[in-house]
């Protein structure tokens, strides 16, 4: 007796099931070729990097390429000058001390602005 919601897992005969379409087969072949090409490029760079007969500049360039693939690209440093120029309008950085002083209320009990007599 089968319970509600349970499904039978049928064993398929070898070669059974839906056949892959031509596009799926082509996609798999292209992915395999890309993997082969990437492996070849990596092996070539590593070989040149280790070859003492090659010029040192080429060896260093290959070493940099290999390290970027193995360890990842180095983190890009962002420097900020403090000013922002948007469409010709120069935006200056905020002086937070001045802004806070301008927004802060006067001394307690001082209801009128100072300097008025």
Dump pLDDT digits (tens) for 33-67.
888 888 999 999 999 999 999 999 999 999 999 98
Question: What was the pLDDT predicted at 90?
Answer: 64
Provide the angle, in degrees to the nearest 10, between the axes of the packed helices 56-71 and 22-50: 130
Tell me the H-state helices in 1-117. 22-50, 56-71, 96-103
Question: What was the pLDDT predicted at 74?
Answer: 76
pLDDT confidence tier of residue 106, bands split at 50, 70 and 90: low
Contact 68, 41 (CB under 8 A): no
Chain centre to alpha carbon of residue 40: 25
User: Which of 32-36, 92-96, 108-112 shows the lowest mean pLDDT across its residues?
Assistant: 108-112
Query: Any idea where the domains of the chain sit in the sequence?
Result: 22-71
Nearest C-alpha neighbor of 33 from the set 41, 44, 23 = 41
Nearest C-alpha neighbor of 49 from the set 65, 37, 36, 38 = 65
- Count CA within 13 A, CB hemisphere, residue 13: 1
Percentage, residues of the chain above pLDDT 70: 70
Contact 68, 62 (CB under 8 A): no
pLDDT confidence tier of residue 8, bands split at 50, 70 and 90: low
Average pLDDT, the chain: 77
Q: What is the pTM of this model?
A: 0.43
pLDDT confidence tier of residue 3, bands split at 50, 70 and 90: low
């Amino acid at each position: 007796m089968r319970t509600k919601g349970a499904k039978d897992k049928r064993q398929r005969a070898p070669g059974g099931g839906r056949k892959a379409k031509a596009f799926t087969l082509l996609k798999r072949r292209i992915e395999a070729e890309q993997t082969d090409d990437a492996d070849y490029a990596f092996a070539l760079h590593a070989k040149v990097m280790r070859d003492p007969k090659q010029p040192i500049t080429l060896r260093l360039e290959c070493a940099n390429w290999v390290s970027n693939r193995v360890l990842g690209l180095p983190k890009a440093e962002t420097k900020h000058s403090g000013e922002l120029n948007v469409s010709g309008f120069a935006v200056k950085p905020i002086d937070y001390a001045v802004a806070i002083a301008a927004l802060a209320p006067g001394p307690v009990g001082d209801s009128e602005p100072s300097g008025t007599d």
